[in-house]
Every structure is written in structure tokens, then in C-alpha cells.
A and B are shown apart, each in its own frame.
Chain A
Amino acid sequence: MEKLKDALDFSDFSKAERIGLIIFSVFLLVFPWLGTGSFAKTVMIQFLLFSLFGMGWNTIGGYGGQVELGKAQYVGIGAYTVALMMVWWKIPFWISMPAGILIAIGYSFAIGYPLFRLKGHYFAIATICTSLVLKDIFDNWSLVGAAKGVELPIHEHPDFVYMQFKSDTYYYFFIMALFYIGLFYMNWFRKSKLGYQLRMIKDDEDAAESLGIDIRWCKIKAYSIASAFVAVGGGFMAVYNLYIDPASTMELSLSIKIALMAMLGGAASLWGPIIGAAFLVPLDRFLGSWLGGQKGLTGIDFMIYAALIMIVSAYQPRGIWGIIEQFRKRGR
């Protein structure tokens, strides 16, 4: 009960932030009736999905300050669990998605335990490696479709058991619900004991340890929470795209996009991942279709991402939200 109250309590934010959240929520709610067409809806679904990924990353990467670049493997775990359980055993989404979360958590503990012996850059590299290894395994594992991937059966009528719809509007509201669950969870998380302890770890590990904090255990817990978030998004991707393969769910570029969105928007802030996704998802679409498609400059989007990472880390490590806060402080 106390936790639920904390999750729904935004009273420690400024008035402007609360009003912003209300306007944003109203916009999300009426968006499908604004007559913006299917492309805009696709972009909005992507935006909500990546916000969810970013919020998850924010636990370990933002509050915990551990540069984590392997989130794509958990997208894959979530997506493959849902897809394979559906194709092999016709298991409903509402069972396969929680199963995907549990597998993701179990896997995150198993690799988090050795991984968090490492610090800083070594940790970042190790997370990339584990993700790539998993992708390679799935690329060559014929039982799970290897590089060809898995196709989900298409249902003609809206199906709430397998969560398969023809219209994007259903998916839109579904991912919106997941987005809000994520947002409320993160609102609780930032005020929780683990949230405080992670921020201390980020600030000063030695001091954190002297204050009775088991650093490694805290990091593992935050890492598994992040993995659970991402696995939920992965499960959604499976039923939304109706087709998954290792390249679309476990690619390194996906891991980097997840981390970059949260970092660009503002790590360790509740709004950061949302702002980052609002900025990067449309940019990603634009770069992909215009530069990659029409101009034939594939790969240039990565150069732009790399430049963004450098600008953010050099100019304002706390991202767009950090810049906004800086101006607000100056105004006072």
C-alpha cells in the first residue's frame, strides 16, 4: 500500500513538471483520434517502447551509474520467450510474457554475478560481449530458427489472449499501459532504499561500502530490474512485429540506442529516458528512411549517434534534462 502511494505520488516535483506530465498524458490519450495516420502511430508506439527500455536502463545505468551496453540481449530473451512459447505450445501471451521476465531475471543474476566484479569501462565492454555471444548463439541455433528468426501466426480478429491485433490502435494502448506501469514503478524506485543506495554507489563507492551497502548485490538487483523492464518490451515487440530474428532483437546497435536515449535525455532522472526517446526515435526514423533509404548512406546514422554521445558526455553528462535544470537554477 505504502509502495503504491509512493509510486503515484509526484508531489516532490515542481508545478511545471506536474503540469507537463498531465498535458503529456492527455496528449497520449487522445493521440489516436487526432487523425495523424498510421506512420505517426508507428512512431508513437516506438517512442513508448523505447521510453520503457530507457526507464529500465536508468535503474542500473542512470541511478547506479554503471555504463551498461548489453540490454539488447534481454530484448531478445523477452521476444523469443513469447514467440517460441506461442509457436511451439500455443501458450497465451499473459503466461509467456511473465515467463520471459523470469528467464530474463534468472539470466541477469547468472551473468550479473561475475560481471559486477568488473568496474567502469571493463564492465561496459563485458556487457557488450555477453550480448553479442547470445546473438551469435541464436544466429546459429536451428531449433529457434537461427538467423531466419521466428514468425508468429497472424490472427484475423483482435485476440486478447495472444495479444494480436490488426489495428495499431490496440497495440498503441497496450504499450501505453506498459509505459505507465513502468513510469509509476520508476517513480517508486527512485524513492526506494535501493534507489538511494545506488545513487550513493554512483557518487562514491568506498563511502557507500562504509555505510553498510553491499555494492555488488545492489548492482545485481538493479541490473535484474533493468533486465525485467527490457524483457517486457521484448515480449511486446514479438507480438507487435509478428516476426523476430536475432538481428532485430539482439543487435549491438539496439543496446546502444537504449543506453543513448536515456543518457541523452538525462540519466538518473525520471523524465530523462522519455525525453531522450521523444528526441531520438523520430530522428532514428528520419535518418533510417531518408539518409539510409533515399540517399543510400547506410550507416551514417551511427556516426550521428556517436557524435551525440560525445557531445552529451563532454558538454552536459546529465543530458537534456540536465541542461533544463541548469537554466532553471540560473533563473532562481
Chain B
Amino acid sequence: MSFLTVENIVKDFGGLVANNNVSFTIEEGEIIGLIGPNGAGKTTLFNCIVGYHRPDSGKVTFRGKDITGMKPFATNREGIGRTFQIMKVTTGMTVLENVMVGAFCRTNDRNTARGKALEVLNDLALDGVKDYYINELPIAIQRKVGLARTLATKPVLLMLDEVASGLNPKEIEDVVELLRRLNNTKKITLFLIEHIMEMVMKVSQRVIVLDYGEKIAEGLPADIVRNENVIKAYLGEKYAQGL
């Protein structure tokens, strides 16, 4: 039994086929990268798994349980955490309160939630900004807050939608290190959409490539960059020559 099994997912937005017959599996403890050109259907695939979209056909199984078409809050309770590509910059709650909302997923007690939230913030070196509002923070920190509140829900599978976009090389370095640490010490399985190839190559153990809604390749990062279909659809000749 695989950790996450995705079978023949089809999602059709009124004639625009965003996902066409996508199938793959993820094993527990893996780090999987999902790449592809803009509009390839990566975020749609995430949404189909997590439950923001109901796939037209196909099946998603998580830890032996059929979660196809389950609502996002329900898949979260099953143990799937998800971060967003664009984090809404909100003014209503402080960083600590944001993370506490995540922690409330697993408890009803405020003090427990607060303790858990502080623990996560401490772990991500965010305790210095805990009383700030999200709109007062730079984008790299905002991303981390988004990650922190998802981590507070105690996911076993973490799905990250472009967690490194808009960050500078130093910040990317930090994120890579953080993700590796989550994977190593907390045993969280990672599934990430990423455009920054440098990062994909560094962290992923396996890479899945989407193009026009279809899976065109899957394999080790080193093989993927030499795959002709992938070069044609996404990486481009220049990238291949630079290797």
C-alpha cells in the first residue's frame, strides 16, 4: 500500500482539460517535486488531491483511505497540509494567532494551542515576529508564517505550492535546509510544486513533470533533466546545454 496514490485524475474546466489521466504514487518519507510550464495543471492537481476541486473522474487514496472529493478541512484532518502560492496579506490576526488557528485543528484548549504554536514558531525561528501582523512582514517571512500555520496542524504529508518563488538565493538556501530538516527529523513527506530548478534538483528525490495537464515524465532529478520531452516542454535547449 502506498502512502498517497493518485489514479487517473481528470479535471475538465468546461473544455479546458487541466488534468488528463494523471496517475502516480508517493511513498512515506519521500520528497517529490512537481514541475511543468505555466498552466500545466500543477495547482489544479494539488487542488484535486486536497479537495478544493472535485475531480471529474479518478481516485485519490491516502494511507489506504479513499479521500476523493473530500473537503479541504477533512483532508487536513486526515493529515494533509497545504500551503498557498499566494498568501493573502491579512491585517486581522497576528502571526501567533495565525499559527494558533492551525494548532486548534488538533485541540480545543487555548493554552495547548498557544503552546503548540509557540513551539512551531520557535522551531522556524519566527518567535521574533510573533506579535506582528502579516502585512507588516517581508515576503520571505510571510511564506514561512504560511508554512508554520500549516505545520501546526501536524500534517504527515505537506504539499507546498511554490514555497520559494520570489525569494533571493540566500532565502532559498534557508528553505531548502528547512524542508530537509522537516523531512528528516519530523518524518514529513513532502510534495512540492516548484519553478526554481536549482531547488527542485537539490531537494527532490523524485520529480513528476506535467505538460498540458498530462504527466510526461517521472523519475530521478538527474534523469529528468536529460529527458527529451521535458527539455522540449519545459526546460529548453539552453538549460540542457548548460549541464
Contact = CB atoms under 8 A, between A and B. Distances in A.
Interface residues of B, number: 33
B84 A207 contact: yes
Interface string B57-97: 00000000000000111101100011110011010110001
Which range contains the number of A residues in contact with the other chain? 20 to 34
A112 B77 CA distance: 24
A211 B153 contact: yes
A203 B88 contact: yes
A199 B97 contact: yes
B73 A215 contact: yes
Given A193-B113, A199-B101, A204-B90, 20 more contacts: A6-B110, A193-B110, A196-B101, A196-B113, A197-B101, A197-B104, A200-B98, A204-B88, A207-B146, A209-B71, A210-B72, A210-B73, A210-B81, A210-B82, A211-B153, A212-B73, A212-B105, A213-B105, A214-B71, A214-B74
A99 interface: no
A208 interface: yes
Contacts, number: 76
Nearest to A215: B73
B33 interface: no
A214 B88 contact: no
B76 A200 contact: no
8 closest A-B pairs by beta carbon, nearest first, are: A212-B105, A203-B90, A212-B76, A209-B72, A204-B88, A200-B101, A203-B92, A193-B104
A148 interface: no
Contact of B97 (A192, A193, A196, A207): A196
Contacts of B88: 203-204, 206-207
Interface of A: 2, 6, 191-193, 196-197, 199-200, 202-204, 206-215, 268
- Interface hub of A191, A193, A206, A268 (most chain B Cβ within 10 A): A193
Contact of A211 (B92, B105, B108): B105
A201 to B, nearest CB: 9
B18 interface: no
Contacts of A191: 110
A210 B50 contact: yes
Interface in B85-133: 87-88, 90, 92-93, 97-98, 100-102, 104-105, 108-110, 113
A208 B110 CA distance: 17
A202 B150 contact: no
Contact of B102 (A203, A211, A215): A211
B206 interface: no
B3 interface: no
B149 interface: yes
Given A193-B108, A193-B110, A196-B104, A212 B93 contact: no
Interface string B194-234: 00000000000000000000000000000000000000000
A199 B74 CA distance: 20
A213 B83 CA distance: 15
A268 B77 CA distance: 28
Given A210-B76, A215-B73, A200 B105 contact: no
5 contacts: A196-B97, A196-B104, A196-B113, A203-B93, A210-B81
